[in-house]
Amino acid sequence: MLWTFAGKSNATRGALGALLLTLLLTSCDRGKIQSYQAPKDPAAPPAQGAAAAGMTAPAQIRWDVPSGWQELPATQMRVGSFTVTGENDQKAQVTVIPLAGQAGGDFENVNRWRTQVGQPRFTEAEMEKAAEPVETGAGRAQMYDFAGVPLEEERPTRLLAAILHREGTAWFFKMVGDDLLVAGQKAAFVEFLKSVRFEAVASVAASGGASPGEDPAAAAQAAASTAATPAPWSVPAGWQPTAAGTMQAAKWIIGGGGGGSEQGQAEATVVMLPGDAGGRLANINRWRGQVGLGPVAEEELGGLLMPLRVGGPESYAVDLVSPETQRRMLAAAVATSGQTWFFKLVGDAAVVGREKEAFTKLVASFNHP
């Protein structure tokens, strides 16, 4: 008999060996902090639409409003809002909402819409089957058409909704209202979708793109909203207009007479954002950081705020100056219906001090739409 080593000791060794091996393998841990040198990320080639158009600057959303649609003011989330009225008091609402990223995913959004019209959830396969592709001017959107009677309602409701993914932002176009009216407006809704496009803005094109601290959805919201709004203010004499940045409605450079050096300059900007744009405390602390001051707590805000006679009661203004950096900022947040207009003058403390009166007049001249 060859190779025989059967017996207690070998069996024991075998069992212990197997146990040890199992424990050894299962105790592997890949979750460790690492430090290494890596090549810089290569710049991604520009998106197809922009590449084809030869553009490098961010673009604003545009559309053609179908006849019979009445435009409503933009709100916190909606960059586009319309109402459609039909016979017998039939009504429908149209909204355009951009959200960063996948915004919860198409599947969940589609099923949420189905729930809204009292329909059961779709499976992925059913969703794919129901999708109607629509070629917009900014790429292909998937449109869905659901009808039903929502809970606690008696009238049949129809919902047309389309999702367009573009450069990390999901754009939601939705029409919801009385079944017959929405069904009759479907062709107009499709035409509306087809007319959606993103166009470069002349003033933006020279600015070199978004600053790293801006998120694309908010930039898109701001850009979309500012696109339709004229600039209702009086520019102080001596302020040189210059190319506005991504989210800016206007920008001026004010020289300090110091030979054009950055130290002797200030710049003024106007930015419009939906809602309160993050809130008073966050905004003021961000501005404080920009002039070299530390953040303050909510209870300390009272001592910083200055009264503002323009805009709604939520409007506020601050005057921030850092003795260390010799930078100063005058900022006024003018709250209008669903929007906040930010007027800022920032730069060398001496120049800002000299231009304070002109800046005050600029803000006072603002006649918001």
52 binds another protein (CB under 8 A): no
Selected range binding another protein among 111-119, 215-223, 299-307, 321-329, rule: CB under 8 A: 215-223
Helix (H) or strand (E) holding 140: strand 139-148
Using the rule CB under 8 A, which residue among 68, 104, 208, 241 binds another protein? 104
| Token couple for 186 | 């479907």
| Measured CA distances, 303 to 6, 306, 317, 350 (Å) | 87, 8, 12, 23
Selected range binding another protein among 21-29, 88-96, 229-237, 315-323, rule: CB under 8 A: 21-29
Q: How far is the CB of 90 from another protein (least distance, A)?
A: 27
3 binds another protein (CB under 8 A): yes
Per CB under 8 A, which of residues 77..96 are in contact with another protein? 77
312 binds another protein (CB under 8 A): no
Contacts with another protein: how many residues (CB under 8 A)? 74
Q: How far is the CB of 342 from another protein (least distance, A)?
A: 12
From CA 94, how far away is CA 176, in angstroms rounded? 7
281 binds another protein (CB under 8 A): yes
| Measured CA distances, 234 to 7, 76, 177, 197, 337 (Å) | 100, 27, 42, 32, 21
Selected range binding another protein among 8-16, 111-119, 239-247, 344-352, rule: CB under 8 A: 8-16
67 binds another protein (CB under 8 A): no
CA dihedral 21, 24, 26, 29 (to 10 degrees): -160
| Measured CA distances, 180 to 155, 197, 305 (Å) | 10, 28, 52
Computed on alpha carbons and rounded to an integer, the radius of gyration of the chain in Å comes to 29
112 binds another protein (CB under 8 A): no
300 binds another protein (CB under 8 A): no
Residue-wise DSSP of 252-267:
EEEE-SSTT-GGGEEE
Using the rule CB under 8 A, which residue among 64, 132, 191, 215 binds another protein? 215
Contact 91, 177 (CB under 8 A): yes
From CA 137, how far away is CA 131, in angstroms rounded? 18
From CA 98, how far away is CA 88, in angstroms rounded? 32
32 binds another protein (CB under 8 A): yes
The residues, any chain, with a CB within 8 Å of residue 112's CB and separated by 6 or more, are none
From CA 204, how far away is CA 334, in angstroms rounded? 23
Using the rule CB under 8 A, which residue among 73, 241, 279, 369 binds another protein? 279
231 binds another protein (CB under 8 A): no
251 binds another protein (CB under 8 A): no
Q: Between 22 and 261, whose beta carbon lies closer to another protein?
A: 22
| Measured CA distances, 343 to 45, 48, 114, 265 (Å) | 35, 35, 43, 17
Q: How far is the CB of 193 from another protein (least distance, A)?
A: 15
Per CB under 8 A, which of residues 176..205 are in contact with another protein? none
> Per-residue contact track with another protein, 123 to 162, x per CB under 8 A?
-x--------------xx----------------------
Using the rule CB under 8 A, which residue among 73, 232, 258, 295 binds another protein? 295
259 binds another protein (CB under 8 A): no
